[in-house]
C-alpha cells in the first residue's frame, strides 16, 4: 500500500509499508530520478495532512505487451503510478516489421505502429525510464534492482521484456558482416549494410529467414539459405509441403543448404566464408542469423518464478508469484488445443495478453482465451500457413485443388494440425474452427466456416474432420 | 451497430452481394474479390438441414483482426464498425488468419480490403447497401438496443460465435 502525503510538494512523495521498515520514495514524475530512503525499525506513521490511497505498477519492457498492459491499466485506474522500464530509447516496435523496413516497403516510423515515445507518454500518463534495464527481479518482495544496486518496490509488476534473437554458438565469429533480424536497431543496421552487397547467407529457414531471403533476392543479391534441419520451415511444415516450398525457392534462384548447420565463419578482410556441417563452404558479403528467438528473462530468478520456455502464466497472465504478471513473447500460456501451456510469440497475442494483465491488476474482469500455435507468411507470391503442432502423431491427409493445397494430421478422427499453401482466405476460418472445437467440443463446427471451406473446394470429409465429426 | 443474418429468412438470392459490389466498385474481372459471399450448404454439411447463407465481415465487438494487424490499419469507428485505412498495409495476411469469417481480401497490389459496413452510408443515415436490398429482410444492421428487440432466433452471429 502506498500513501501520497501532500499535494503541496512539486513532485510526488510516496511511502510504502514494508514489515519493520518504512520506505519513503521521492519521486520525480517527469524524470528518471527516483530516490528511496528506507527507515529501519518499527514505524508508526501519523500526522498525514492528506492521505490518498495510490498504487504503483512497474512494466518491465516496452513492446506491444508492455504498451497494451500500461494502456489497460491507465484506462481502469487514472491515478495509478505506472513506471515503464526500457533498455532502449525506442518506442514500441513490431519485430515483424523489421524485414518490411529493410525491404523498403515501409518507412522507419512505420516500424513503431503505436506512436512515438512522447505521444505515448502523454496519452498514457506514464513514466518511461529509457535506457534503464532491470538487472534483477526480487519477485516475492516486488522489488526491481537497477544499475548501481538501486532498488524500487511496486505494488504490481508486469514482465513484458519480449524475446531476443539467438546466434548459435560459433567460435571466433567475425566482428563485421554478422547480422540478426529482430529489433528496430537490427533493421537499421542491415539496411545500411546492404548497399553494394553481392552475396549473402541467411541462417534459419523459418518465418524471419524467408522474409530476409525475399528482400535479398528482390535486390538481386545471390542468396544462400541454410538450416540444420533437412527441410524448409522445419518447426511448422510437413515434409511434403516443405518440398513444394523448397522447389519454388530454388526456381527463384535461392541456393538452399538444408541439413547443413553453419559451423564456422572466417573473414578474409574482403569477404566472409561460411562453413557447414556437410563439409561445404560458401563465401558471402554478409551473414544474417535468423535462427530463432529466446525470451529475455535473464533477470528473473527461476527459484522464485516458474519458468518453462517462457514465464509460466495463467489465463489472467499471473505468474507463479502474487502481484507478478507476464505478457508477450517472454511468457508462455494456455493453448486450448492441447490443454497445456505453449510458447506462441505473436503480435496479437502480446496485445491481448498485455491488456488482460493490465485489466487484472486493476480488478477488471478479463481473461486470455489462449491460442493455437499458428503462423502465416506471405512471400514471393506464396502464402504459407501452419496451424497446430505438425509433429503431432496421426494419419496424414493431403488435398489439392482450386489453386491451393492443404495437408493435415488427423488424430482420433479429428484434424490436429495442418498446413495450407496459397490460400490465406481460408486460414482464419480454419484456425478459428480448431479454436472453437477446442473450447466447445460438444458443439458442431459453425455453418459459416463450413460454407467458406466448401466454396473454397475443400472436400466434405476434410471439413468434417476439422469439426471433429470424424471421431 | 450490430450486423447479423437471420438464417431462417435468407434465400441466398445474391442481391446483397451484387449491391455490395456495386457500392464498392468491385471488379471481379480484374481479379478483385467481392466482400460478401452467398451460398448454400447441403444437409450432409449443414447439420442435417439445407442452409442458405450470406457472409461478410460481422463487425465483431472484440474484432480479432484489429490487434492482429502489425501496422494498425484496422480500427473501430464511432458506430462500432470495423473500418480500415490500408495506406500502410503491408499485405502480410495477419488479419486473414485472425478473421473467422474470411472477410479480408487482397488487391493485386497486395493491400487488404474488406467490408467496412458501408460506414459512410451509415453516417448519413442510410442502411448498408446489402441490408437495403435484401428482399426478405434477412440481413440486419441495427443499433445494439434495437437489435436486442428483434434479434432473430436463427442468428448467424450466435451460430458462429467463436
Indicate if ipTM > 0.90: yes
Verify whether the Cβ–Cβ distance A376 to B55 is below 8 Å.
no
List B residues 92-131 in contact with A (Cβ-Cβ < 8 A).
Answer: 92-94, 96-106, 110
Nearest to A383 among B93, B101, B105 (CB): B93
List B residues 7-66 in contact with A (Cβ-Cβ < 8 A).
Answer: 7, 33, 37, 39-41, 44-47, 51, 53, 55, 64
Nearest to A376 among B88, B97, B156 (CB): B97
How many Å apart are CA B75 and CA A190, to the nearest integer?
A: 32
The pLDDT of residue A91 is 97
How many Å apart are CA A257 and CA A253, to the nearest integer?
A: 13
The position carrying cell 542469423 is A289
Q: Are strands A395-401 and A199-203 parallel, antiparallel or unpaired?
A: unpaired
- Determine the residue of chain A that is closest to B161 in CA distance: A446
Dig out the grid coordinates for A66 from the structure. 508492455
How many Å apart are CA A78 and CA A86, to the nearest integer?
A: 22
The position carrying cell 511444415 is A237
Q: Which parts of A348-425 are beta strand (E)?
A: 374-379, 382-387, 395-401, 404-411, 414-421
Query: Which of B32, B48, B60, B90 is best to mutate for the A interface (most A CBs within 10 A)?
Result: B90
How does DSSP assign A413-428, residue by residue?
TEEEEEEEES-GGGHH
How many Å apart are CA A99 and CA A209, to the nearest integer?
A: 9
Reduce the DSSP state of residue B159 to 3 states and report it. Answer: helix
How many Å apart are CA B65 and CA B72, to the nearest integer?
A: 10
- Determine the residue of chain B that is closest to A346 in CA distance: B68
Q: What is the mean pLDDT of residues B61-81?
A: 95
How many Å apart are CA A262 and CA A246, to the nearest integer?
A: 19
Other Cβ atoms less than 10 A from the Cβ of A192: the count is 9
Q: Are strands A127-129 and B139-142 parallel, antiparallel or unpaired?
A: unpaired
DSSP state of A163: E
Residues of A with CB under 8 A from a CB of B: 94, 96-97, 100, 105-106, 110, 113-114, 347-348, 351-352, 374, 376-378, 383, 385, 424-429, 431-433, 435-436, 444, 446-452, 454-455, 460, 463-464
Query: Which of A447, A464, A465 is best to mutate for the B interface (most B CBs within 10 A)?
Result: A447
Q: What angle do CA A79, A81, A83 make, to 5 degrees?
A: 150
Q: Spell out the residues 6+ positions from residue B46 whose beta carbon is closer than 8 angstroms to its own.
A: A447, A450
What does residue A179 show for φ and ψ, rounded to 5 degrees?
-135, 155
- Determine the residue of chain B that is closest to A111 in CA distance: B71
Contacts of residue B92 in chain A, CB cutoff 8 Å?
Answer: 96, 100, 376-378
How does DSSP assign A261-322, residue by residue?
-EEEEEE-SS-EEEEETTS-EEEESEEEE---EEE--TTB-TTTS-BSSSEE--TT-B-SST
Crossing angle (nearest 10°) for helices A427-439 and A447-455: 150
Do A163 and A294 meet the contact criterion of CB atoms below 8 Å apart? yes
List B residues 130-159 in contact with A (Cβ-Cβ < 8 A).
Answer: 156, 159
Question: Cα distance from B126 to chain A (closest Cα, Å)?
Answer: 27
Dig out the grid coordinates for A6 from the structure. 501532500
Residue B137's domain comprises 2-159
How many Å apart are CA A105 and CA A110, to the nearest integer?
A: 10
Query: Which of B50, B102, B105 is best to mutate for the A interface (most A CBs within 10 A)?
Result: B102
The position carrying cell 516458474 is A306
Nearest to A450 among B45, B106, B162 (CB): B45
How many Å apart are CA B157 and CA B138, to the nearest integer?
A: 12
- The reported pTM is 0.89
**Maximum Cα–Cα distance across chain A:** 80
Dig out the grid coordinates for A62 from the structure. 516496452
Verify whether the Cβ–Cβ distance B45 to A463 is below 8 Å.
yes
Do A355 and A71 meet the contact criterion of CB atoms below 8 Å apart? yes
Structural domain total, chain B: 1
- Give the number of C-alpha atoms closer than 13 A to the C-alpha of residue A270, restricted to the C-beta side: 1
Nearest to B45 among A114, A347, A454 (CB): A454
Verify whether the Cβ–Cβ distance B55 to A429 is below 8 Å.
no
Contacts of residue A352 in chain B, CB cutoff 8 Å?
Answer: 67
Verify whether the Cβ–Cβ distance B71 to A110 is below 8 Å.
yes
pLDDT digits 0-9 by tens, A197-216: 999 999 999 999 999 999 99
Nearest to A428 among B41, B96, B110 (CB): B96
Listed residue (A45, A48, A49, A40) closest to A19, CA to CA: A40
How does DSSP assign B95-122, residue by residue?
HHHH-TT---EE-TTS-EE---TTHHHH
Q: Which CATH fold topology does A178-291 show? A: FAD/NAD(P)-binding domain (3.50.50)
How many Å apart are CA B95 and CA B101, to the nearest integer?
A: 11
User: Which CATH number does the domain housing residue B79 bear?
Assistant: 3.30.70.20
Other Cβ atoms less than 10 A from the Cβ of B7: the count is 22
What stretches in chain A show pLDDT beneath 50? 1-22, 27-36, 38, 40-51
CATH of domain A55-163+296-362: 3.50.50.60
The pLDDT of residue B161 is 62
Question: Cα distance from B140 to chain A (closest Cα, Å)?
Answer: 16
Nearest to A348 among B53, B68, B161 (CB): B68
Listed residue (B131, B136, B142, B105) closest to B16, CA to CA: B131
Question: Cα distance from B2 to chain A (closest Cα, Å)?
Answer: 17
- Determine the residue of chain A that is closest to B38 in CA distance: A451
pLDDT digits 0-9 by tens, A211-256: 999 999 999 999 999 999 999 999 999 999 999 999 999 999 999 9
Q: Are strands A286-289 and A178-180 parallel, antiparallel or unpaired?
A: parallel
Listed residue (A179, A148, A157) closest to A85, CA to CA: A157
The pLDDT of residue A2 is 44
Distance of CA A275 to the CA centre of its chain: 31
Do A23 and A40 meet the contact criterion of CB atoms below 8 Å apart? no
Dig out the grid coordinates for A330 from the structure. 517472454
Task: Please report, for chain B, how many H helices and E strands are present, in that order.
Answer: 7, 8
Do A306 and A313 meet the contact criterion of CB atoms below 8 Å apart? no
Verify whether the Cβ–Cβ distance B100 to A428 is below 8 Å.
yes
What does residue A352 show for φ and ψ, rounded to 5 degrees?
-70, -40
Query: Which of A63, A428, A431, A439 is best to mutate for the B interface (most B CBs within 10 A)?
Result: A428
How many Å apart are CA A64 and CA A415, to the nearest integer?
A: 32
Inter-CA distances, A132 with A65, A89, B76, Å = 18, 9, 35
What does residue A274 show for φ and ψ, rounded to 5 degrees?
-105, 135
How many Å apart are CA A217 and CA B11, to the nearest integer?
A: 50
pLDDT digits 0-9 by tens, B141-156: 999 999 999 999 999 9
Amino acid at each position: 500500500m502506498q500513501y501520497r502525503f501532500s499535494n503541496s510538494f512539486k513532485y510526488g512523495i510516496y511511502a510504502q509499508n514494508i514489515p519493520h521498515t518504512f520506505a519513503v520514495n521521492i519521486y520525480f514524475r517527469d524524470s528518471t530520478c527516483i530516490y528511496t530512503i528506507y527507515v529501519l525499525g518499527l514505524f508508526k506513521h501519523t500526522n498525514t495532512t492528506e492521505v490518498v490511497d495510490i498504487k504503483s505498477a512497474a512494466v518491465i519492457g516496452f513492446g506491444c505487451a508492455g504498451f497494451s498492459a500500461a494502456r489497460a491499466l491507465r484506462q481502469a485506474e487514472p491515478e495509478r503510478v505506472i513506471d515503464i522500464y526500457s533498455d532502449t530509447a525506442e518506442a514500441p516496435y513490431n519485430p515483424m516489421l523489421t524485414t518490411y523496413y529493410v525491404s523498403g516497403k515501409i518507412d522507419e516510423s512505420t516500424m513503431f505502429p503505436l506512436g512515438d515515445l512522447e505521444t505515448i507518454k502523454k496519452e498514457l500518463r506514464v513514466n518511461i525510464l529509457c535506457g534503464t534495464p532491470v538487472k534483477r527481479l526480487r519477485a516475492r518482495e516486488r522489488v526491481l534492482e537497477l544499475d548501481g544496486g538501486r532498488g524500487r518496490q511496486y505494488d504490481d509488476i508486469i514482465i513484458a521484456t519480449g524475446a531476443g534473437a539467438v546466434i548459435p554458438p560459433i567460435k571466433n565469429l567475425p566482428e563485421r558482416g554478422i547480422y540478426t533480424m529482430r529489433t528496430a536497431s537490427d533493421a537499421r543496421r542491415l539496411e545500411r549494410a546492404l548497399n553494394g552487397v553481392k552475396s549473402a547467407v541467411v541462417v534459419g529457414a523459418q518465418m524471419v529467414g524467408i522474409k530476409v531471403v525475399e528482400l535479398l533476392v528482390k535486390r538481386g543479391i545471390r542468396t544462400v539459405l541454410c538450416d540444420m534441419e533437412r527441410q524448409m520451415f522445419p518447426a511448422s511444415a510437413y515434409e511434403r509441403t516443405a518440398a513444394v516450398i523448397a522447389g519454388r525457392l530454388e526456381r527463384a534462384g535461392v541456393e538452399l543448404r538444408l541439413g547443413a548447420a553453419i559451423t564456422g565463419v572466417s573473414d578474409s578482410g574482403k569477404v566472409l566464408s561460411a562453413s557447414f556441417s556437410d563439409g561445404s563452404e560458401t563465401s558471402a558479403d554478409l551473414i544474417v542469423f535468423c535462427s530463432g528467438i529466446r525470451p529475455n528473462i535473464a533477470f528473473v530468478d527461476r527459484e522464485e518464478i516458474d519458468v518453462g520456455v517462457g514465464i509460466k502464466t495463467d489465463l489472467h497472465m499471473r505468474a507463479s508469484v502474487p502481484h507478478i504478471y507476464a505478457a508477450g513473447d517472454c511468457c508462455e500460456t494456455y493453448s486450448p488445443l492441447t490443454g497445456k501451456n505453449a510458447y506462441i510469440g505473436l503480435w496479437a497475442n502480446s496485445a491481448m495478453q498485455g491488456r488482460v494483465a493490465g485489466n487484472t491488476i486493476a480488478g477488471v474482469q478479463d481473461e486470455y482465451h489462449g491460442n493455437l500455435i499458428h503462423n502465416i507468411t506471405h512471400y514471393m507470391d506464396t502464402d504459407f500457413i501452419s496451424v497446430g503442432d505438425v509433429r503431432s502423431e496421426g494419419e496424414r491427409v493431403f488435398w489439392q485443388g482450386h489453386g491451393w493445397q492443404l495437408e493435415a494430421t488427423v488424430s482420433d478422427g479429428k484434424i490436429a494440425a495442418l498446413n495450407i499453401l496459397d490460400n490465406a482466405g481460408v486460414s482464419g476460418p480454419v484456425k478459428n474452427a480448431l479454436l472453437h472445437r477446442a473450447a466447445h467440443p460438444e458443439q458442431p463446427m459453425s455453418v459459416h466456416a463450413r460454407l467458406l471451406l466448401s466454396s473454397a473446394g475443400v472436400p466434405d470429409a476434410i471439413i468434417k474432420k476439422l469439426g471433429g465429426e470424424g471421431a | 451497430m450490430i450486423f447479423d443474418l437471420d438464417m431462417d429468412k435468407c434465400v441466398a438470392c445474391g442481391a446483397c452481394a451484387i449491391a455490395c459490389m456495386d457500392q464498392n466498385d468491385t471488379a471481379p474481372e480484374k481479379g478483385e474479390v467481392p466482400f460478401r459471399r452467398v451460398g448454400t450448404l447441403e444437409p450432409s454439411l449443414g447439420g442435417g438441414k439445407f442452409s442458405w447463407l450470406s457472409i461478410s465481415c460481422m463487425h465483431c465487438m472484440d474484432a480479432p483482426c484489429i490487434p492482429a494487424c502489425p501496422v494498425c490499419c484496422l480500427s473501430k469507428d464511432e458506430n462500432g464498425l470495423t473500418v480500415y485505412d490500408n495506406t500502410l498495409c503491408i499485405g502480410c495476411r495477419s488479419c486473414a488468419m485472425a478473421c473467422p469469417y474470411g472477410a479480408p481480401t487482397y488487391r493485386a497490389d497486395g493491400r487488404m480490403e474488406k467490408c467496412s459496413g458501408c460506414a459512410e452510408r451509415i453516417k448519413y443515415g442510410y442502411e448498408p447497401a446489402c441490408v437495403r436490398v435484401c428482399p426478405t429482410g434477412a440481413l440486419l444492421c441495427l443499433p445494439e438496443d434495437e437489435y436486442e428487440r428483434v434479434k432473430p432466433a436463427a442468428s448467424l452471429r450466435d451460430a458462429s460465435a467463436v
